Amino acid sequence: MRAIIYARLSPTPRGEESKGGNLAQQVELSQALCDRNGWSVVAVIVEKDTSASTKRGAKRSDEWERVKALVEDGKADAIVSRHYDRMYRTPWDLEDLVDLAEATGVTLAAAQAQGVLDLSTPSGRLAARIGAVVARNETEMRVERQVLGHQRRRESGRPFWSTRPFGFERDGRHREAEAEALRQAYRDVLTGVSLWSIAKDWNARELLSPHGKEWRSSNLRGVLLKPRNAGIQTYSQWVEKPDGKRVRLTEETGAGNWEAIVSEGMFRALVRYLSDPERNTGGGGKRKALLSGVVRCSKCQAVATQGWSKKNAAGERYRIYTCSGGRCITCPADALDSFVVRKVIDKAEEWNAAPATDAADEEREAELLAEETAASERRTALAEMFAVGDIDASTLRTGIGRCDADLTKIRAELADLVANRVRVDLGDIEYLWEELDYEDPDRIDYVRTVVMQVCARVELMPRGRGVRAFKAEHCRITFRNP
């Protein structure tokens, strides 16, 4: 007989060993069975992190389809695995194999089972169906255990991290050097420092990811958006959409029992800031213009970006800021940079003298956090009432919608409150203009941070037809309250 050896490893959580053993062991046991029976092996097909528990009518993996194709083409008479559960784990997958056996006469054999399964006979099909029902029951019990385990973890609030997160140990304690870097990163981002600059600084200090990788804007953003940094526990699950695609949804389930690295208000403020569609990312972080993405057009409110003027009579060009919405307004970049920085320096003394926060702010923050907790508890209570049949689905949807609307409003106010309290150290502000070096992105980032801290809005005003020289009335600045 000609045999196909099929080995498969099921998907397992990181760090856990698969029940199916390693692939090499599966192949070795299957080869030994073929040798004892005098069967010739025509193909060895292996696959990793693949489940045999499919939904009814769903297609199995490409490698399993290859096994079936070899049998259908008459190139093999038997399929050999370590155990039958490597080939099928659901009754409907078994029936698919029964159809294949009736059409081709293929035999199933397992190295760790007694005898072979001849699916062409009633007794062989009965034994296979009993095995499929047992395997299906094991799968359902495993899923139930996982759900109960997740529920217990949610209720206990204890950390459950497959790998050590940046800033924490596995048991929830802080890794202080990383935790302090995270705290500073939250403050820096909210004052206008680019993710690229923070990633560059971390890499220079060898504050690498837990996997030893260097930071980029993308993976740094992902770490900063983790609710665990604010001591918030989350629960993730896969949900199937109407089109059949599965998406992973993550929801907050309350406070964890580990110490937060940043306050919830700080976390909400950063999430809102990074989610702002109008936020300028600086083209990958390396900003070559001080006010690119900061200054806006007074006509269409589009951000202005750096460009170059047409050549003058001497064949020279100079930097300009241009409205990105439709080139409504342009302005000489050097003159605008100088004007804005001088205005910031004039305002800095008043800004430095003002306190960063007051008792009213702290009291309002406490009120908002209490309101958020109450809204979250109402949301959980509605789900529990629906589960026991006290309310119907329509009432649940209406109630959940109101709770989510309340949470969105509360978190937005909380984010604004905390963001307004984040202050950059202006230092010796009178030397700010001397700090600007257009060849050094880090220095541009620093001066830009100060400008964004002090200025709520910088707008380009129309200069009039034929006017080339920059004047003070060509720029309107709205300062923040210190």
Q: What is the average pLDDT score of the chain?
A: 78
Asked if 342 and 332 touch (Cβ cutoff 8 Å), the reply is no
pLDDT above 90 as % of the chain = 15
pLDDT value of position 16: 41
Least confident of 54-63, 139-148, 378-387: 139-148
pLDDT bin (cut points 50, 70, 90) of residue 17 is very low
SS3 191: coil
Among the residue ranges 89-93, 159-163, 281-285, 287-291, the one predicted with the least confidence is 281-285
Q: What would the mean pLDDT of 317-321 be, rounded to a whole number?
A: 84
Q: What is the pLDDT of residues 418-464, one digit of tens each?
A: 776 666 555 555 556 565 666 666 667 777 777 877 787 888 888 77
Confidence of residue 34 (pLDDT cuts 50, 70, 90): very high
Q: Is the pLDDT of residue 287 over 80?
A: no
Evaluate whether 371 touches 268 at the Cβ level (below 8 Å). no
| pLDDT value, residue 115 | 65
The pLDDT score that the predictor gives to residue 165 is: 92
Q: Identify the residue with better confidence: 13 or 110.
A: 110
**Torsions phi, psi of 272, nearest 5?**
-65, -40
C-alpha 100/C-alpha 119 separation (Å) is 9
Given a cut of 90, whether residue 50 has pLDDT beyond it is no
Higher-confidence residue: 29 or 319?
29
User: pLDDT class for 247, splitting at 50, 70, 90?
Assistant: low
Contact yes or no for 361/410 (Cβ under 8 A): no
Euclidean distance between CA atoms 429 and 307, whole angstroms: 28
222 vs 432: CA distance, rounded Å: 32
| Token representation of residue 96 | 């698919």
Residues 204-226 have pLDDT tens digits of 999 999 988 999 988 899 999 99
* Mean of pLDDT values over 272-294: 63
User: What is the per-residue pLDDT for 93?
Assistant: 77
Q: Which residue has the tokens 């930071």?
A: 215
Q: For residues 449-466, b (16+ Cβ closer than 10 Å) or e, as one string?
A: bbbbbbbeebbbbebeee
pLDDT of residue 55: 58
Tokens found for residue 225: 């958006």
Q: Does residue 340 carry a pLDDT above 80? A: yes
Q: What is the pLDDT of residue 20?
A: 46
**pLDDT value at 166 more than 90:** yes
Residue 146 scores a pLDDT above 70: no
Q: Give the CA radius of gyration of the chain.
A: 32
For range 64-68, the mean pLDDT: 89
* Residue range 131-144: mean pLDDT, rounded: 67
State the pLDDT at residue 13.
47
73 CB contacts (<8 Å, ≥6 apart)?
A: none
Which residue from 90, 172, 186, 192 is spatially nearest to 131, judged by alpha carbons? 90
Which range, 6-10, 160-164, 207-211, 423-427, is most confident?
207-211
pLDDT of residue 79: 92
Confidence tier at 282 by pLDDT (50, 70, 90) = very low
Predicted local distance difference test score (pLDDT) of residue 214: 92
Closest CA to 321 of 178, 158, 459, 145: 459
Higher-pLDDT residue of 248, 43: 43
CA distances from 172 to 161, 165, 169, 256 (A): 9, 9, 5, 9
